[in-house]
Amino acid sequence: MSGPGAGEHPTACSMQILIEYDSRMRAATVSRRLDRFLTDLTNFLRDNGCKLIGHIKGLLDAEDRGQLFFSITSFDEAIRYKGEIDGQIAKAELSINVIVYGVEETPIEKAVTKYLAKQFSE
């Protein structure tokens, strides 16, 4: 591999987080908040020394309301989504896997927790 971050070792972080709401939230609102969460996380990584994104991938599983897969492989490309969620959502499980170069695991875990709370706390 060549390019920025090629001489560094990757940092891998994997988390599963249950997101619950006191009242149901529209799927469109959940999708927008997921997008903002991923944008905040990507900006945090860039601002804190990330040289290269191996990948940020995950799944928002809203049980019978559907699933939404997401993938980020570059600072310069849009977030890719696959799948669909619909209706009113009371809870969902977020699985996220991050492989990046230039940032340690602990700051990534803290950023995931912080930005999830920012977007998904009612």
Output the domain CATH number for residue 91: 3.30.1220
**Contacts of the segment 70-73: beta carbons below 8 A, 24+ positions apart:** 70/34, 70/38, 72/38, 72/42
Q: What is the pLDDT of residue 1?
A: 45
Mean pLDDT score of the chain: 91
Does the pTM surpass 0.75? The reply is: yes
How many structural domains comprise the chain?
1
Whether 2 is covered by a domain: the verdict is no
Tell me which of 9 and 7 has the higher pLDDT.
9
> Tens digit of pLDDT for each residue in 66-119?
999 999 999 999 999 999 999 999 999 999 999 999 999 899 999 999 999 898
Which range of residues forms the domain containing residue 92?
A: 10-120
